Amino acid sequence: MSQPLLEVRDLSAGYRVYKGFLRVLDGVSLTVRRGEKIGLVGESGCGKTTTMRAILGVLPSNGRVTGGQVLFEGRDLRQASPRELQRLRGRKLTAIFQNPGAALNPVFTVGQQLDAVLRAHHPGMPARERRQRAIEALASVRLPDPERLLNNYPVQLSGGMKQRVCIALALLSDADLIIADEPGTALDVTIEDQVMRLFMRLVEERQSATIFITHSLGVVRQWMDRVYVMYAGSIVEAAPTQELFRNPLHPYTQALLKAVPKLTGGGIPKGIEGRVPDYAHPPAGCRFHPRCPFYSPDRCPARPALVDVGNDHLVACYQY
């Protein structure tokens, strides 16, 4: 089988804060093959964004990767020089963030920002061609009147339009892997739906791989090939989408699915007992055990490994 595009092996990372060190990521492993659409799902605070930043090498100044490897096309990004990383980022590996308002520079026009990306990645390209490419990029994300839009500042655009500009920016680089971190969060849900469809269509057309980070199970089920479920800094379950929804194995995945209100009725579900752990003092062993209905005092204190149960389905729980 061909080499995966991205392989994250046992990644650990955290943040230095006033009260100590927050051990957020506790050995995250995931694999992305070329053209694959991966959903990374988990609730707030589970470490999804930290994972993304650790992969890209853009953790904030108090963040540190403490272990593991990030292999992109076989090369460990943690060992790469800053120049190598610079060449990869924005070209082969690119990102779309949660808040388009923060991702776009408010003092430059849309045109200037698109142009900057084109100049960085295509140094020989003449200005006229860059402008043409910029207009095409905006048109590909179905933004009206792209020529005029080039002269607009981000503040003149609605949330949905700004996010489309960010998508256009990410696609300009024709990257092999696009990591999108909850791109719909800041948007009205019906606009989010439109933007999602657009993003997915463009990703398919270009056969880019994507890691799509979200807390919405519905979105994942509708669009992704494979799902990774994350809880408190580690992957607890991973499977092809259909397999995961038909046969959820990890107690956390099961609880998450039960907690979603159903279109078929059934009233408001119960929700999950307990709270997300304090990363300064996380539970020993399996981090979900304090909230788990299947808790076993002999088995759970040992951290469960991700086990392959067949059908490309991985789960980290003593029961398997």
Q: Residues in the site for another protein, rule: CB under 8 A?
A: 43-44, 188-191, 193-194, 215-219, 221-222, 245-246, 255-257, 259-272, 275
Provide the minimum distance between the beta carbon of 115 and another protein in the complex, in angstroms, as a whole number. 27
Q: Is 45 helix (H, G, I), strand (E, B) or coil?
A: coil
Provide the minimum distance between the beta carbon of 263 and another protein in the complex, in angstroms, as a whole number. 4
Whose Cβ is closer to another protein: residue 99's or residue 112's?
99
Whose Cβ is closer to another protein: residue 1's or residue 268's?
268
Whose Cβ is closer to another protein: residue 69's or residue 222's?
222
Provide the minimum distance between the beta carbon of 98 and another protein in the complex, in angstroms, as a whole number. 12
Query: Sheet holding 6-17: strands in order across?
Result: 20-32, 6-17, 63-72, 75-76
Whose Cβ is closer to another protein: residue 19's or residue 275's?
275
- C-alpha dist (Å) from residue 96 to 46, 49, 128, 233: 19, 11, 27, 21
Provide the minimum distance between the beta carbon of 107 and another protein in the complex, in angstroms, as a whole number. 25
- C-alpha dist (Å) from residue 247 to 20, 239, 240, 313: 39, 9, 10, 10
Whose Cβ is closer to another protein: residue 177's or residue 232's?
232
Q: Is 50 helix (H, G, I), strand (E, B) or coil?
A: helix
CA nearest neighbour of 40 among 171, 231, 270, 301:
231
What single-letter DSSP state applies at residue 129? Answer: H
Question: Is residue 131 a contact partner of residue 150, using CB atoms and an 8 Å limit?
Answer: yes
Provide the minimum distance between the beta carbon of 32 and another protein in the complex, in angstroms, as a whole number. 22
Is residue 55 within a helix (H) or strand (E), and if so which, with residue range?
A: helix 48-56
Provide the minimum distance between the beta carbon of 217 and another protein in the complex, in angstroms, as a whole number. 5
Provide the minimum distance between the beta carbon of 166 and another protein in the complex, in angstroms, as a whole number. 19
Contact residues for 223 (Cβ-Cβ < 8 A; gap 6+): 37, 39, 196, 200, 212
Provide the minimum distance between the beta carbon of 181 and another protein in the complex, in angstroms, as a whole number. 16
Whose Cβ is closer to another protein: residue 133's or residue 258's?
258
Contact residues for 112 (Cβ-Cβ < 8 A; gap 6+): none
Whose Cβ is closer to another protein: residue 69's or residue 254's?
254
Mapping DSSP onto H, E and C, the string for 257-280 reads HHCCCCCCCCCCCCCCCCCCCCCC
Provide the minimum distance between the beta carbon of 53 and another protein in the complex, in angstroms, as a whole number. 20
Whose Cβ is closer to another protein: residue 1's or residue 189's?
189
Whose Cβ is closer to another protein: residue 84's or residue 188's?
188
User: Following DSSP, what letter does each residue of 150-207 receive, concatenated?
Assistant: TT--GGGS-HHHHHHHHHHHHHHTT-SEEEEE-TTTTS-HHHHHHHHHHHHHHHHHHT
- Tokens 């100590």 belong to which residue? 20
Q: What angle do CA 113, 119, 120 make, to 5 degrees?
A: 95
